[in-house]
Amino acid sequence: MVRTDQHSDRERELSMNPPEEVPTELANHPSYADVRFLGRGGMGVVYLARNRFLDRPEVLKVLNSSYAKDERVRQRFLREVQIAAKLHHPHVAMVFSAFPLSDRLVMAMEYVPGENLAELVRRAGLLTVQKACAFACQVAVGLQHAHDRGLVHRDIKPGNIIATERDRKKLVKIIDFGLAKAGPGQLTGHGLTQSGAGLGTPTFMAPEQARNAAGVDGRADLYSLGATLYFLLAGRPPIVGDNEYDQVIRLATEEPVAIRTLRPDVPPDVADAVAKLLQKNPAARFQDAAEVAAVLLPFARKKIVSDDSTLPTYPQSSPAFSTFPPSEETKKPDLDLRTEELHRDWYQYTEVLDTTGTSSSFFEQYGPQRAAAWKRLAEDGEPMAMLLYGRCLEDGRGMGKNEAAAVAWYRQAAERGQSYAMFSLALCLENGRGVAKDEMEAMAWYRHAAELEHAKAMINLGVCRLRLGTGGVKNEKEAVAWYRRAAELGNADGMIYLGVCLAVGKGGVKDEAAAVAWYRQAAELGQPFAMFYLAVCLEAGRGVAMDEKAAVAWYRRAAELGQASAMTGLGMCLQDGIGVAEDVAAANVWYRKAAELGDDLGLRCLIGNLKFGYGFARPDLAEATRWQAKLDALAKEQAPAPSSWRLPSSH
């Protein structure tokens, strides 16, 4: 039977460590209900609970009191959690928050149903080469996401990688980011222990980590990834000592048995990759995780349709909507310098898009110099290259602008199962760019991409369901369901859409407190619109206790990020002395900035103060008239209907 908890390794210890009662403070916590004990390790106790506001299960790790008593350790833990909370990736379990509980610290994390890879191998035996490479590829992509943000996991092992499913698609997620440097000491196989212990699980740790845990970089995670891949293929770690001390000695002195000696069916290129990952000298290994993924990807994809072991980042064609003959669909270019560069470009593209919400800066930097190479690979049948080359054509990067040709490339890539291309094609169809406008076909492609975990496609599909529905019939419940899926993937825009629906009761459920919780989560991810909505709720006491000072702080953060409505909100607080000392002159500065961005209310506030001289040396009717002309011009423009409102969308 498949396990359903990522912490079930610890659960097996319960016969030796009987369950303890849930702390009263946790059992009565206003944010959590249905708290139950899961297990205990060296770092503390693990619980499963339901978040009352978001109605979802969360894993709560209650750290031992020693972590909260030492201020230096406490601050280090909080810094690590803050970094980990910014990781939003399909192959990394999310860290939601950290909070004090009496004399201890608690970290709230995503609950990932499934079984860890150690359990999977124990239950099902050795993995196929394709499945092992697919899982290793996904872990590598997740690690690259973390390493790019300066976070090293330091305890990559089969037990910290969960095999789960989403819509019948298999994927893995890395858990326990944020704990790597949290404790007063280091990590062992059971978590944080006393100072002087090794950092990481010795069986899977890099040799340099055993010598100097504090000085390692992301290449230590790559060694551990190699050891994990070795385990998935061979059923044993590459090096095994008699005890922890012996393990550390052997890591430094012993070479592992070649993987093909244990598994002759492992392709030579995969064996070479494993050997390179397990080099004792970090300089001799792969230097980043994206490079590992590029090498393993072709082997991960060989039987991807037949065994349904999909890689969400690179979905394969579905016979249901593919128009290409099988021989062309399965043809892959040889892995050479060009395709390795393509994979690097692709990771860079998706990282920029995920981080900033737009890929414009990526194409400004790489489009002109890469367009010709992307074109060659697109003509060779590479869907990723088709998407990248299509974007160059659509935007005129490195060549003449040709939207119709861009749409043709998007369609080819989309029909091969490329979710980003599906999204780009849908955008063009919805807006009539390079193709006749067809909102119903656009919605169909948004749906294909959404089913492949494309969060922005989920959001746009939700917007379409509110506006178009099926056959012209709206479906608010389905729209809200898609917004929720995007939000649960960590997409800040999805959190805002879901929050707005919950606040006004779209989809049949009105829950202002839950709306505020989603606004707050998106705001903490840096989303200016969410900051504005959160500020409005805090100022008015909607779904949350009224807190005018906090409202002003969120208005200010959003305003400083260029959010026009927040500029006006901050101005109104300054003018009326709400949550801040009254300062009409400062209010006018923000009104003017909002007016320059076309904010209707900001224009009205500025015009009124100019007419009466509030916050100015004297009234200024001439300037008020100029701003009134802008307001009148804006009023003539057609405003979008509320059901079709959406945040700026890019691809």
Task: Specify the domain boundaries for CATH 3.30.200.20 within the chain.
Answer: 8-110
Higher pLDDT, 272 or 184: 272
115-314 has CATH 1.10.510.10 classification: yes
Task: Specify the domain boundaries for CATH 1.10.510.10 within the chain.
Answer: 115-314
Give the distance between the most distant pair of CA atoms in the chain: 88
Which pTM does this prediction carry?
0.54
Mean pLDDT, residues 325-336: 33
- Please write down the HEC assignment for all residues of 489-542: CCCHHHHHHHHHHHHHCHHHCCCHHHHHHHHHHHHHCCCHHHHHHHHHHHHHCC
Looking at the predicted structure, is the pLDDT value of residue 214 above 80? no
pLDDT band at 84 (very low <50, low <70, confident <90, very high): confident
pLDDT band at 568 (very low <50, low <70, confident <90, very high): very high
Looking at the predicted structure, is the pLDDT value of residue 326 above 60? no
User: Helix 455-467 crosses helix 439-451 at what angle (to 10 degrees)?
Assistant: 140
Looking at the predicted structure, is the pLDDT value of residue 19 above 60? no
State the pLDDT at residue 20. Answer: 60
Mean pLDDT of all residues belonging to the chain: 81
Q: Which CATH number fits domain 551-651: 1.10.150.20, 1.25.40.10, 3.90.180.10, 2.60.40.420?
A: 1.25.40.10
Looking at the predicted structure, is the pLDDT value of residue 191 above 70? no
pLDDT band at 481 (very low <50, low <70, confident <90, very high): very high
Using an 8 Å Cβ cutoff, are 453 and 476 in contact? no
Looking at the predicted structure, is the pLDDT value of residue 296 above 70? yes
Using an 8 Å Cβ cutoff, are 112 and 93 in contact? yes
Higher pLDDT, 199 or 434: 434
Q: Could you read off the pLDDT of 367-417 as tens digits, one per residue?
A: 777 888 888 888 888 888 899 999 999 988 777 899 999 999 999 988 888
State the pLDDT at residue 364. Answer: 76
Any idea which residue has 């750290």 for tokens?
Answer: 63
Task: Specify the domain boundaries for CATH 1.25.40.10 within the chain.
Answer: 551-651
Mean pLDDT, residues 209-226: 86
Looking at the predicted structure, is the pLDDT value of residue 518 above 50? yes
Kindly state the percentage of the chain with pLDDT values over 90.
Answer: 46
CA dihedral 233, 236, 238, 244 (to 10 degrees): 150
Lowest mean pLDDT among 3-7, 175-179, 296-300: 3-7
Please, which residues have CB within 8 angstroms of residue 560's CB and are 6 or more apart in sequence?
none
pLDDT band at 332 (very low <50, low <70, confident <90, very high): very low
Q: Could you read off the pLDDT of 581-594 as tens digits, one per residue?
A: 999 999 999 999 99
State the pLDDT at residue 85. Answer: 82
Kindly state the percentage of the chain with pLDDT values over 70.
Answer: 80
Element (H, E) at 108: strand 104-110
pLDDT band at 551 (very low <50, low <70, confident <90, very high): very high
Q: Tell me which range, 34-38, 152-156, 625-629, is most confidently predicted by mean pLDDT.
A: 625-629
Mean pLDDT, residues 104-109: 88
Higher pLDDT, 148 or 275: 275
The CA distance from 428 to 171, in Å, is 30
Mean pLDDT, residues 470-478: 73
Beta strand 95-101 with 191-192 is: unpaired
Higher pLDDT, 19 or 69: 69
- Annotated catalytic residues are 155
State the pLDDT at residue 356. Answer: 66
Looking at the predicted structure, is the pLDDT value of residue 223 above 70? yes
Any idea which residue has 């998935």 for tokens?
Answer: 232
**Torsion sign over Cα 460, 461, 462, 468:** positive
State the pLDDT at residue 180. Answer: 52
Looking at the predicted structure, is the pLDDT value of residue 495 above 70? yes
Question: How far out from the chain centre does Cα 230 lie?
Answer: 27
State the pLDDT at residue 610. Answer: 96
Residue 223's alpha-carbon distances to 138, 213, 229, 300, 304, in angstroms, are 16, 14, 10, 19, 26
Please, which residues have CB within 8 angstroms of residue 261's CB and are 6 or more apart in sequence?
none
The CA distance from 644 to 408, in Å, is 27
State the pLDDT at residue 576. Answer: 95
At the topology level, CATH places domain 8-110 in Phosphorylase Kinase; domain 1 (3.30.200)
Using an 8 Å Cβ cutoff, are 216 and 153 in contact? no
State the pLDDT at residue 168. Answer: 66
State the pLDDT at residue 5. Answer: 45
Higher pLDDT, 176 or 613: 613
Mean pLDDT, residues 504-519: 94
State the pLDDT at residue 307. Answer: 36
